[in-house]
Structure 1
């Protein structure tokens, strides 16, 4: 009895931790918050032991925070070098601020020059950005604590203590290593995969009233799984020392993601009265084909399907060390569905769902082998043995993905993004200094800080406008919280420091989720800092709102007037890049599926995903709730959803094509080449239209992909075969590309969606 209770407690604890790990992939937000808070705490304790005053403790806390969050390099050695270089830059910034304390004009001119240099330094990568950020922020700290020449020795000591404490925490207390981050990201991927499979179980049982909610969960968990896969791909180079291991892990993660998404589509098909478009998984509020649950009429098949979905969830959710005959039996049963003879009786759609279960179980097995190493094979069934043999063959063929050379930005002068941004923020900061001086000769730098931050990680006028709005919203709410907290702590210094630490943690934990929420914690923290410095008043916090609004306005004016980058232009650039990457992946995959030479398809698919993620970020201003252009908002959402769908099918083609050179069950089919050429030509026409380049011809829709193959008088294709699956992805790609063309007003010829063959009618 006691053992059962302990096992239940362990399962509950593991489930709770899995949900948290899934919500924070790699624990990146948690670690960032803990690392920053620990650095501040260690700095405060050290300064307290040195009997420094409250003002210096505030300066030390802010410097420790800057020294911790500014470092973004992934390699430990790079982090150490940047931190070591940051200290002399911080000392220089503090010195110049103190020397120029009484020279208002000279100080303002230097501040603008420092801002220009800090932004321009972004062109030198993470290190340049970190050093520029340290220089700017420490100068800002000096203004906040009113640094003067007589106080410089104490401030030097404070900065040195802050940087040393930051280094101790970063490298000893809360270390950040590429290997550790990748390990936690892999665990987050497994947890998110388990959440998606749990949603699949809900999908089978959902009634008409629950279906919309379950579909929303399905879309969200599918997108979250893809996000985790992208984060893993971005850490493979630093997190694994062996290129072959990195290539293997990349392949297994991609297989698991594709199999899980395919299973969701097949379950939707099984329960609907008509075929479900893959777009349903990527477009919010997409119409559902039918509200009835057809799978419930399948009798024993629905019970078997539900049971095996729960078994798949068990395989995904189990801890790496779990073993047992029961788990082996479950795995063997699911892998058996890869054989046509083992499929339960049912309609073709239901049998497709069981095939999807078998492929998902195979992907989970491959993921386990890649993450946990060799496993016990004593209880393997013939189907499991075959899957292991396939993995062994793939492992021998997979070599480390070669690093794709990033295209060098050949723009120079004012056309270079970093130069343009530096000019914009310098002009905006100059305006903020002038306007801020009119509002307050003591707190004018808050306007400059806001102007600075709205330009961080933004590249278009629309992004700056949205970020400025979020900054102002968070500041207003933070002022309300600051008033309440200042009244709560009164003159209790250490209570105020404790609440400051909570605000710092909240600031870094919520930063990737909501910029408005992060601004809320920043402003609440400032109210507490003013309390510590005995300069708190309600008028000060109201002034904070005014300076924030002024700084956001100055940033927007500079973005509109000085070398503007309009949102449409930036979006078109990213859209063109996504389409080019999509063409490269599809063309290379179809060529390999047609018998062409083997190439590194997964790296090309990763480049497509990265480009699509950039496009998604650039369209955020168009899709923001406050945008007045509702028509453009709907078009942008539809285009991104179509591209998400096309990217999924392109990844699926790439994963299947990579099996051709060494698989015994996947054979090349030369007939596919013709279909690939049509899709590639259609994409080229759309790219030319987006780039405003002349192009002859129209996007061809006409006959279905399957009917193009039927014209060769080939034997009929059977559902469940590899070529049939490839045709399904090509058909959906073809329809998605035509949909993109229609959305962009590219001329289209023929009848879209024509299904002239029996095979085409069966493609889900």
Structure 2
């Protein structure tokens, strides 16, 4: 009952809603699709009626207007404009090719296969290649789907060009991106994300033990926080280092609170009364972070004082006292960091250089076959599509292209076999549920033209609004749209919708089969490649934050290495997503590696940009730097070991860390705070232990035992 109340609290639900679409990007995406399709349908239908052209021209133009408003995804607005303008070339070429060749079945199939290969191969040229390839594929598909005639070619080409012009106006004039407003919204959303995390933590201290589900929940909240911080980071400019540092400090403070709460549950040393006070302190801290209420901050301090009072009779080295001190300090640090975060940010000056995206990837490495990933995938998609043409045509001579489009899209934005399996399942599931919903909805609106038109645009909006959340949801809404569209055109029949399910299953099944047997790229191979990138980023961060740390260190450079590390971890989580759930049993060692590498990043980030290096005497500083260099070398050795699949040899940093601990003098030994020398040494020791844990996992690849630590 308490969990239900926690989840259904109105303020919490509102925060979840706001943070689900931080800068209203998904809302704009859905609105652009509706407006692009609606304006194209309205304008082109009037022109088609005036020129005496059939509804096919309007349908093709509507689809081009809808797709043209979505496909340009480059980070630079100027590049987005160029890409949208360039869409006219592949769109008109594919329309012409599809219309001319569709009269001759074998020629049409061959032309479609060539189009599919080129559309997929173009992905090697980045977001622009992906966009141009997608619009080319869908233009050819529309020529087949709407049975375009040769005599209609001038009108079809004109409709496509006009629709893309409308899409351009919708995307960049009517509903443009506004980076300065987005930054403000993202910053507000980051605050609400911190509030969500604190709300989710409220009931944790009173739990009797740390279960796996509870650990997964804490990891989920950590990931939620990190993703929100990265989203803000990608909008910040180089001239905002102070704001970047404050966001980073607040993120680390929340991470320390999560760790402190977890420690309270794991040790069980605090009395129930103290745990209830912690719950109230977390609730008050959330209120302050969310609303900036000074009274909430005072209330939080009162509850923390009660927590400290509850352990005042314990010995200084008692676990309960240590837990209470750690949690009290971490919550106080969080509230202080939140108070330093501004509620308003200065508007970006036009032309101001933005920071390089934190998630920017290095150039993709060729697969083991020597082929570029896009080339490999183009071969897979083309072969699978040809098979889908044959099998789909055997099932239905009129609707075989449904199998082909399924085969094409399940390879879109995927890299590995696991990704393809997930996307194929989402396609089938969304289609089945969409057909069920479409049968019900079409039956309700059939014969009511206004309701049918409204239903079409509602489906368009939700399809694009939810695509970033779930591909299955997008398929669901577009399948429902097709059901209503058939009702609108007078072609609706349950048998036709059941055929769509069958063709979808054929396309998905053949796509997965080809992904398995033809030039496969295993999920575990990709995960280990991504894990190597994480280890390389760990090495860079250790060198910047520990080995080379000084008072003259560039804070912007330090933040950049930290955010690169975060982005690589996000890539690793994305790569490992196909192994979630029951599939983990097929690669348990890989799952352990992912978990250990994720823990390593968490510990490295707790080094707090190496501020503790500046707070120690010269002898200790040199020992810490030597230990940092050894840890960085170990991370590099692990990176090479994962690449060569062999047992690495690491040199422990624990002797150096122990010497550094003993060399602390005077105030250095008792100083508290997240950047204090004892805390820095603690996290460096955790990094050392985790590197050796990863090494033991990597050392089992060829059955060679890892040498024991000395």
- Taking structure 2 as the reference length, the TM-score comes to 0.85
Query: Which residue is equivalent to 1:726?
Result: 680
Does residue 40 (structure 1) correspond to residue 37 (structure 2)? The answer is yes
Query: Which residue is equivalent to 1:379?
Result: none
Between 554-563 and 540-549, report the one with greater CA deviation: 554-563
Query: Which residue is equivalent to 1:110?
Result: 111
2:570 alignment partner, one of 604, 610, 613:
613
Query: Which residue is equivalent to 1:417?
Result: 373
* Distance across 2 between alignment mates of 1:360 and 1:260: 6
Query: Which residue is equivalent to 1:630?
Result: 585
Query: Which residue is equivalent to 2:5?
Result: none
Query: Which residue is equivalent to 1:74?
Result: 75
* Distance across 1 between alignment mates of 2:294 and 2:519: 67
- What are the residue-to-residue correspondences of 1:693-708 with 2, within 5 Å? 698-699=649-650, 706-708=657-659
Query: Which residue is equivalent to 1:159?
Result: 160
Does residue 314 (structure 1) correspond to residue 308 (structure 2)? The answer is no
- What are the residue-to-residue correspondences of 1:681-696 with 2, within 5 Å? 681-692=633-644
- Taking structure 1 as reference, are residues 64 and 117 closer, same or farther at Cα in structure 2, changes over 3 Å only? same
Q: Per-residue displacement from partner, 1:580-629 (whole Å, max 9, x unpaired)? A: 2212212332213588965722212222222222222222222243x3x6
Deviation, structure 1 residue 443:
1.0
* Distance across 1 between alignment mates of 2:299 and 2:548: 35
Does the CA contact (< 8 Å) of 1:605 and 1:650 recur in 2? Answer: no
- Taking structure 1 as reference, are residues 507 and 705 closer, same or farther at Cα in structure 2, changes over 3 Å only? farther
Does residue 349 (structure 1) correspond to residue 314 (structure 2)? The answer is no
Deviation, structure 1 residue 521:
1.7
Query: Which residue is equivalent to 2:414?
Result: 458
Query: Which residue is equivalent to 1:586?
Result: 542
* Distance across 2 between alignment mates of 1:326 and 1:249: 26
Does residue 294 (structure 1) correspond to residue 270 (structure 2)? The answer is yes
- Taking structure 1 as reference, are residues 360 and 66 closer, same or farther at Cα in structure 2, changes over 3 Å only? same
Deviation, structure 1 residue 330:
8.0
1:266 alignment partner, one of 260, 266, 277:
260
Does the CA contact (< 8 Å) of 2:431 and 2:479 recur in 1? Answer: yes
Q: Per-residue displacement from partner, 1:29-85 (whole Å, max 9, x unpaired)? A: 222112212222222333454464654443333222211221212333222222222
* Distance across 2 between alignment mates of 1:15 and 1:221: 14
Does residue 141 (structure 1) correspond to residue 93 (structure 2)? The answer is no
Does the CA contact (< 8 Å) of 1:256 and 1:363 recur in 2? Answer: yes
Deviation, structure 1 residue 731:
1.9
Query: Which residue is equivalent to 1:234?
Result: 234
Deviation, structure 1 residue 199:
3.0
- State the SS of the aligned residue for 1:261: helix
* Distance across 2 between alignment mates of 1:90 and 1:658: 55
Query: Which residue is equivalent to 2:473?
Result: 517
Does the CA contact (< 8 Å) of 1:83 and 1:167 recur in 2? Answer: yes
- State the SS of the aligned residue for 2:621: coil
- Taking structure 1 as reference, are residues 47 and 477 closer, same or farther at Cα in structure 2, changes over 3 Å only? same
Does the CA contact (< 8 Å) of 2:392 and 2:399 recur in 1? Answer: yes
Query: Which residue is equivalent to 2:453?
Result: 497
| Runs of 5+ unmatched residues, structure 1 | 1-11, 273-288, 375-398, 753-764
* Distance across 2 between alignment mates of 1:700 and 1:146: 68
- Taking structure 1 as reference, are residues 168 and 406 closer, same or farther at Cα in structure 2, changes over 3 Å only? closer
Does the CA contact (< 8 Å) of 2:558 and 2:609 recur in 1? Answer: no
Structure 1 vs Structure 2 CA RMSD = 3.7
* Distance across 2 between alignment mates of 1:495 and 1:263: 51
- Taking structure 1 as reference, are residues 694 and 479 closer, same or farther at Cα in structure 2, changes over 3 Å only? closer
Does residue 22 (structure 1) correspond to residue 16 (structure 2)? The answer is no
- What are the residue-to-residue correspondences of 1:51-66 with 2, within 5 Å? 52=49, 54-66=55-67
Query: Which residue is equivalent to 1:709?
Result: 660
Between 164-173 and 545-554, report the one with greater CA deviation: 164-173
Does the CA contact (< 8 Å) of 2:620 and 2:660 recur in 1? Answer: no
Does residue 742 (structure 1) correspond to residue 693 (structure 2)? The answer is no
Does the CA contact (< 8 Å) of 1:598 and 1:658 recur in 2? Answer: no
Q: Per-residue displacement from partner, 1:147-168 (whole Å, max 9, x unpaired)? A: 1122224323432442233223
Deviation, structure 1 residue 219:
3.4
* Distance across 2 between alignment mates of 1:141 and 1:317: 49
- Taking structure 1 as reference, are residues 451 and 703 closer, same or farther at Cα in structure 2, changes over 3 Å only? same
Does the CA contact (< 8 Å) of 2:88 and 2:164 recur in 1? Answer: yes
* Distance across 2 between alignment mates of 1:209 and 1:596: 45
- What are the residue-to-residue correspondences of 1:463-502 with 2, within 5 Å? 463-502=419-458
* Distance across 2 between alignment mates of 1:406 and 1:264: 29
Deviation, structure 1 residue 260:
0.4
Does residue 603 (structure 1) correspond to residue 560 (structure 2)? The answer is yes
